[in-house]
Structure 1
């Protein structure tokens, strides 16, 4: 896209230069005394413009790559800033909880209430997990006891022992 724009600008400049040359040639025809001086100035101007355009064309790809790299770095910095903000919020909540527990003169703010609510929710979840684990242990014990008949196991072991001795 950048190259097309530069080529278009270059063509327009060349057309303008050509138009200027045509106009200059008409002026030159009228003024025969200064034709060579005007032509050399125009040639110098054209060469300078062409050099600048080629320089700009060479710089554009590098600038595009630099821009994309900068965008990636900015996105990475944004992500890091978000993480830092989240960490700071957690630290502030923890600080308020600790200071509220230690300092009796500190009133409860919305943040401390939210922190206490979070802690209460976590404690409830832990209790629920403990109950689930106990229930699972009981279920496993019941399955093990009902599935395994000790009398049958003892008889099978004794019967296999008798058969192996014969």
Structure 2
């Protein structure tokens, strides 16, 4: 009996080994029959990634443009404030001359000077119509730039007329008897 039992056990072991080998072969065949799994992202994921990228680019563009526009606006506003200060200084220089030395020189009479035409030139220079100050009142960048241009013209007017008035005052003073 021991010999018969051993044979059965050995046969069973051989049968189990054969079945395992067959199953392994079948699994290998099934693996080769199945298509390979897709590598990378699915089409839906790619589309979503593209949409997100486009949205990020658009948002960056919008925020970039706004930052640029704000910087331009702030620069225009600062330039207008500087031009306004320049007008104030030029106006003060002109008014100090007009109310000081020019006023004193215009008080002279034709009998007090050798050349009476210098008094006429002084009075004409003193009678110039000064520009109306408009200030930096604007709502946008172009408005501030236009205001800055007007203020710059006013600075030029005051400088030119201050120089002309000073020459007229000097001419009257040089003509004193």
Q: Could you say which TM-score interval applies, normalised by the shorter chain?
A: 0.3 to 0.5
Give the structure, 1 or 2, with the largest relative contact order (CA under 8 Å, sep 6 or more). 2
Larger radius of gyration: 2
TM-score by length of 2: 0.31
Q: Would you tell me which structure has more helix in proportion to its own residues?
A: 1
